[in-house]
Chain A
Amino acid sequence: MTVFLSQSFTGISIGAVLLLIALGLSLTFGQMGVINMAHGEFIMAGAYTTYVLQQSIGGAGVSLLLSLPLAFLVAGAMGVLLEWLLIRHLYARPLDTLLVTWGVSLFLQQLARDIFGAPNVQVRAPEWLTGNVRLIGGEHPFTLAHNRIFILALALAALVSLALTLRVSPLGRRIRAVVQHRDLAEASGIATARVDRVTFFIGSGLAGLAGVALTLVGPIGPTMGTNLIIDAFLVVVVGGIGRLRGAVIAAFALGVLQAVVEYSATVSVAKVTVLVGIVAFLQWRPQGISTLRTRSLV
């Protein structure tokens, strides 16, 4: 029983990590249609921001909390720079965007290697994030690790703020208008180029936030982005392009599937099962879990 509970929580916390790394991508790829291969490197930038802040401030707790907004800004700024320098010239040319951002991704990896060195670095977790909450005692207690609870809370907070921004704020309304019909939005007086830039800022900033969360579970290194980018795209593609709800369902479904299979088999089998599951699912529903109905001519 407690094993079942522990594994469910593990699955949910894997899902929370997946959701965090995919949330930004569901904006830039899902909403804007930009295939940004450098998204993983924005996550890396967020993680290194946490590291740098901890090195310069010292206090593990303070630096972690401070790095949340700072990582958002750093990664967001990098995103805006990328959008302004390269991507805006390449809208509607996805293949070129893909190759250019892939190049940017390699460039950023080498840059990180030059600045921080090739070996991975670690962030010390603050006292209040080590240890766990014991919900059921006994021989096999059911415990929730503090760092996992923190990541879950962070993922949900990011999700709710993003959903609210998109749904009720004027900015969100403009973003949705541009996604649904760019030309009509432009005809209605929306500065689509500016909206694109802001969307990209938020999407990239969310990647930075994911980077902060990831420092709590693993090491920080120049290649951490490449390991994550595939998972991020999987979540967005399974979730369905253009909708947050799909990404949320996909992230938690994949997380729980991974945890369940891994418990009864092995890590490798779990990875294979998840990938086979995704392929089968996309055969049946190529548009993903939930799709956006628009009036644009398809």
Chain B
Amino acid sequence: MSTALRAPRARRVRRRGLAALALVLAGTLALPACGAKAGEESEGPGATADISEDTVKVGLLNSLSGTMAISEVTVRDALLLAIEEINAAGGVLGRRIEPISEDGASDWPTFAEKSEKLIRQDGVAAVFGCWTSASRKAVLPVFEQNKALLFYPVQYEGLEQSPYIFYTGATTNQQIVPALDYLAEEGVDSLYLVGSDYVFPRTANKIIKAYAEAHGIEILGEDYAPLGSTEFATIANKVESAGADAVFNTLNGDSNVAFFKEYTSAGLTAETMPVVSVSIAEEEVKSIGAQYLEGQLTSWNYYQTTEGAANEKFVAAYQAKYGEDKPTSDPMEAAYTSVYLWKAMVEKAGSFDVADVKAAADGITFEAPEGLVTIDGETQHIHKTNRIGRIGADGLITEVWSSDGPIKPDPYLKGYDWAEGLS
């Protein structure tokens, strides 16, 4: 090519390159949307679990990468600890549990794809995992079509009761409603709602608004940030100028880091405007930095500092396996408990068959680190005690209030007059 021709050609090609660039950028945005239909063709009888003489496989489905990894990796670790303990004690029905771990990659269609793989290809007897409600909603049809079992260990927004999911985290009347009761008791008259933009925060805030209306609490504002968003200056400004008595925070994952940095920069503190969070446990406190969170409130069913022999044993075993500085948290505890509950159900049923295991569920109890938990066979949730905690400078959370004993799960809030019309 002669040099005289190079410049115009470069320019022409550059323009074509620009068009290609736009295409690729659009493709990057659209990619996660593919693959959501995985498993729709699988009608009919459920997948059969691959159980041999001496082993039974279970699936662990957690985000080991992406924005949710910060939280979900610890759940996977807690699940592995429970499996290790059970295997050391002789396994389930004389069989060793063989865990198969899959990465959901913080991407909901990937969760559906991987659960399909665990159920149909690996033949697992049960799957433990998922964190965000979006990922649970994505895998729900897969579990229902394949008649397979999922144990879901995280607090969520309620209003759901799949026959193939056991919910070992809190539903709303075990976490959000008690937190609101506590705030009302403390004399809070106005709230500002901040959350990530997906199922859990939106539904949780619907419930909060219904409660607030019935109890004379004013909602001064409501803001949602895209999952993974790290730009919170404007939201902090809005919160600051609204001047609410407290903030109810349903942000998830890394967004909390940016939110609390901005919140502190705006000059807000736990004294001037406390934030009640329902997705920040000990692990998140550590990564956000305790200096941004000191004095803020959380609502959970379990803290590392919860008293009891079962918890002492759990914390000691966890730290012996993963490191002295590793905190334990509510979702980890619920995950750990879920494996033991599954074991108890299987042993009561005397079989790994999903229908038998489900039938055996009602009334099963376990002395969990959070205290005694009981499976409610009708809703497939568990009875749990609520605890409001305050975050300390050392990153640990200490209980400042608790409900009177375990609360019966009520995912549709049928027992609350103000919640009529929510579901």
Contacts and interface: CB of A to CB of B under 8 A. Distances in A.
Interface of A: 2-3, 6-7, 10, 13-14, 33, 35, 37, 91-95, 97-98, 102, 113, 118-122, 124-125, 130-132, 134, 139-141, 143, 145-148, 181-183, 216-219, 221-223, 226-227, 229-230, 233, 237, 258-259, 262-263, 266-268, 271, 296-298
Closest 7 CB pairs of A and B: A94-B17, A218-B230, A145-B265, A118-B65, A10-B233, A262-B234, A119-B69
B393 interface: no
B372 interface: no
Given A98-B24, A267-B235, A92 B254 contact: no
A141 B236 CA distance: 13
B8 A92 contact: no
Given A98-B20, A124-B289, A296-B11, 15 more contacts: A10-B234, A14-B231, A94-B16, A95-B20, A122-B287, A132-B266, A132-B267, A140-B241, A145-B266, A182-B10, A217-B262, A219-B258, A223-B66, A263-B234, A267-B223
Contact of A119 (B18, B73, B261): B73
Interface in B213-245: 223-226, 228-231, 233-235, 237-238, 240-241, 243
Contact of A95 (B16, B225, B231, B243): B16
A222 B3 contact: no
B159 interface: no
Interface in B274-299: 287-289, 291
A102 B27 CA distance: 12
Contact of B233 (A121, A130, A259): A259
A207 B414 CA distance: 54
Given A125-B261, A131-B265, A140-B240, A267 B65 contact: no
A101 B254 CA distance: 27
A268 B262 CA distance: 19
B249 to A, nearest CB: 15
B14 interface: yes
A92 B16 contact: no
Contacts of B70: 119-120, 219
A221 B13 contact: no
B25 interface: yes
Nearest to A9: B233
B34 interface: no
A219 B288 CA distance: 9
B6 interface: yes
A92 B13 contact: yes
A297 B7 contact: yes
B353 interface: no
Interface string B46-77: 00000000000000000011110110010000
B316 interface: no
Given A267-B226, A268-B224, A219 B254 contact: yes
